[in-house]
Amino acid sequence: MNYQQSEIYVSKWIDYSSKYGLGYVLSDKAAGVFFNDSTKIVVAHNDSVFFYYERRLVSANEKQDVKMQYLLTDYPKELQKKVTLLEHFKSYLSQNRVQSSS
């Protein structure tokens, strides 16, 4: 089967790295935040599931991202601030008030 895979790229972003991290929206409308503590959170467009990535030590000198999946309506209490920031950045970026790469 010969098909061309669509490229996905960052279409909008906002840099709040002085306080929280970098928020972004991808060309497929997924949104995410790369936080200053090296954790990441990503949600697909109009989805109720999000992915949370946390960097963990797997050996004396190697770290690896561990992916966890949660519902936007059911996640650990310690992620409340990060989920709130994700929703805020996603909403802000969808209003076309920021720099776009297109």
Domain residue ranges of the chain, discontinuous segments joined by +: 11-86
The helix (run of H) or strand (run of E) holding residue 35 is strand 31-35
Distance separating alpha carbons of residues 90 and 86, to the nearest angstrom:
6
Mean residue pLDDT of the chain comes to 88
Q: Is the pLDDT of residue 1 over 50?
A: no
CA distance readout (Å), 2 to 5, 84: 10, 41
Distance separating alpha carbons of residues 33 and 85, to the nearest angstrom:
8
**CATH fold for domain 11-86:** Arylsulfatase, C-terminal domain (3.30.1120)
| 48-56 mean pLDDT | 94
| 39-65 mean pLDDT | 91
